[in-house]
Amino acid sequence: MTGHDHDYTLHIAERALERMKALSVPADPAGYELWYSYVSNRNPEMNRRIDRILDEKGSLSAFDLDEIYDEYLSSSRTHSELQQVGTDVSREIDKIVAMLSEFILSTSQERGECSNASQQLAQSTDEGTTRAIVDALINSLRSVEVRHAAMEQRLNAAKREMELLQCSLATVSIEANQDPVTGLANRRGFNTAIERACDRAADDPRAFCLLMLDIDHFKNFNDRFGHVMGDSVISLVGATLKQSIKGQDFAARYGGEEFAIILSDTALADARKVADRIREKIMDRELKKRSTGESLGKVTVSIGVSAYRPGERPRAVVERADKCLYEAKHSGRNCVRCEGDGADMRGNAA
């Protein structure tokens, strides 16, 4: 490492620690990794997320930090796990190919010996010589049989190992794209889905719309009742979204208390209706503490809606829906805002 590199990394480290001290966040390894990444601007999307929360709340809770770390930094570890499993699969395939090559070579040698023995038998007239050739041939065939049985065992073992690796690869792949609390897709899964939606729309003029949904006053609820009940709210909203979509529609937990829904083949006016139905369904659900039956009140959401425009990429669609979402927040919450008009469909303000 050059002196310049050392000075730079030391400067970044100092700034990261200053940031952590100013915000009074835990100085643990995960927190340091997050703020080092923030100060060095390694992940601009993560920085925008942090800045948005700070602008709204003025601070970051431990829950916020855990969510951001899981979403943006632990995903790199998942990528490493996928790479490692892929490497193990490749190694196992190489092992199988080597075993088969070895078996083919030994079998070809035995075929050559059998061919020579056949020629000798055809030329032999002496009984003793014939018996010796036959005995040698039998021994050779027995050797092939033994090697064949051993090879079969090795191939079966390799097959079992491959099956385990394939299961591991499938599990890691699912976990990499799924939110554990709601069972919906996570941010990574959403990014893949909206990329595909834009690609399809480039060849197919049928529109899709995007809903960005945020739980109202979630931080207050989380601080008052704790993270366990906070997860219950997240789970409730996730379940409602699952029940509200159909066909090619796609729902994801975008991050924290924010969700996203891609509505396929849907015009903006229809997307607004879907959004308001979702808002009403969530508002109609009363959250209760399971142990005591105590009512914890209603949950409400604010929703922003945008429509895909020909030729654009995902970021533009998301930014417009996000802008509408914050218009809904600033309009009193528990309402829907669509791009292109100032109208909203309001329920009782949360």
186, pLDDT greater than 80:
yes
What's the pTM?
Answer: 0.56
3-state SS assignment for residue 292: coil
121: tokens are 């038998």
CA distances from 348 to 253, 275, 285, 300, 322 (A): 25, 15, 14, 9, 22
Looking at 122, 150, 177, the residue that finishes a domain is: 177
Residue 68: pLDDT over 90: no
**Structural domain containing residue 55:** 3-60
Domain-embedded: residue 240: yes
Q: How confident is the model at residue 261 (pLDDT cuts 50, 70, 90)?
A: very high
Asked if the structure places residue 41 within a domain, the reply is yes
Count of structural domains, the chain: 3
Is 71 a member of any domain?
no
Look up residue 310 and give its two tokens: 């020909």
208 and 116 share one domain: no
Give the range among 152-161, 187-196, 200-209, 282-291 with minimum mean pLDDT: 152-161
Q: Which range, 253-257, 286-290, 320-324, 345-349, is most confident? A: 320-324
Residue 81 has pLDDT above 60, yes or no: no
38 plus 16 within the same structural domain: yes
User: Residue 320 is which amino acid?
Assistant: R
Catalytic-role residue among 67, 257, 258, 339 = 257
Do β-strands 208-215 and 301-307 pair in parallel, antiparallel, or remain unpaired? Answer: antiparallel
Percent of the chain with pLDDT over 90: 20
Which range among 78-92, 156-170, 203-217, 296-310 has the greatest average pLDDT?
A: 296-310
The pLDDT assigned to 312 comes to 86
- Token output for 192: 């893949």
| φ, ψ for residue 290, nearest 5 deg | -60, -35
Q: Could you tell me which residues are beta bridge partners of residue 338?
A: 305
Q: Which of 74-78, 157-161, 240-244 has the lowest mean pLDDT?
A: 74-78
CATH of the domain at 342: 3.30.70.270
For the chain, the average pLDDT equals 76
What value does the mean pLDDT take over residues 18-24?
Answer: 83
Q: Is the pLDDT of residue 151 over 80?
A: no
Q: pLDDT band for position 155 (50/70/90)?
A: low
- For residues 213 and 124, state if they share a domain: no
DSSP 8-state assignment for residue 178: B
Q: What angle do CA 153, 154, 157 make, to 5 degrees?
A: 85
Confidence of residue 43 (pLDDT cuts 50, 70, 90): confident
Query: Same structural domain for residues 49 and 191?
Result: no
In a shared domain, residues 54 and 33: yes
306 CB-near residues (< 8 Å, 6+ apart): 209, 210, 212, 317, 318, 320, 321, 324, 338, 339
Q: Catalytic: 312?
A: no
Residue type for 69, please? Answer: Y
| pLDDT over 80 at 265, yes or no | yes
Instruction: Specify the DSSP class assigned to residue 69.
Output: I
